[in-house]
Amino acid sequence: MKISIAYIFVLLFIIFAGPGFSRTCPARSRDHLTEQEAGLVADTQELDKRTVVFIKAIERRFLVISNPNATQSNKDKEIWGPLPTGTHAELIEDIHKIIDEAITNIENVNERDPSNPLIVKSLRKLSDACKGYVVQLSSIQEKSQDERELRAIAKALDNAQEVIDAAQKLPPVKTKQ
């Protein structure tokens, strides 16, 4: 079998230059949570409290979307880190992914322990928040002309509606008499 010099050159390039080249060329994937938000999610083990972390992370994105010059208290900055950055489309994509992650967390607990009372509590909290997100996202959608932003809004609206629909199937809240 004859191996050409060109073949050897390409093979050597792939072996030696390829790994370094591949790290610099592909587009970096954007994390939907900031480093400190991700740390808070990891540190918060109780499902209902973790759901609150997701809700706060989403609210931070809506804050930046509505006011790009928004600031936060020193206490919030210490706990949550700097406000997230990005274009409207990126921030809305973050919202979609955070809702999706919150849904996945609730589903995972439900698979392991369907009788866990925190499932219902978490789903109600997330649903209440999603009702507000639908209003905010719809308002942004009416004003937007950007295709990427409109796609992100559609995904986030679908996720929010999925949560709202799931919560409507829950038994009514028991009131204390």
Q: What is the mean pLDDT of the chain?
A: 87
Residue 25 is given by DSSP the state S
pLDDT in tens, 71-117: 999 999 999 999 999 999 999 999 999 999 999 999 999 999 999 99
Residue 5 pLDDT class (50, 70, 90 cuts): low
**Rounded distance, CA 144 to CA 164, Å?**
24
- Who contacts 55 (Cβ-Cβ below 8 Å, separation ≥6)? 102, 125, 126, 129
For position 25, what pLDDT does the model report?
45
Q: Is 168 exposed, middle or buried (0-12, 13-18, 19+ CB in 10 A)?
A: exposed
pLDDT at position 74 is: 94
At residue 24, the pLDDT reads 45
Distances (CA, A) of 7 to 14, 22, 169: 11, 20, 62
- Give me the residue label for tokens 């790994």: 19
**Domain spans, the chain:** 31-168
pLDDT digits (tens, 9 = 90+) for 113-143: 999 999 999 999 999 999 999 999 999 999 9
The model's pLDDT over 11-25, given as tens digits with 9 standing for 90+, comes to 444 555 444 444 444
Q: What's the pLDDT score for residue 12?
A: 44
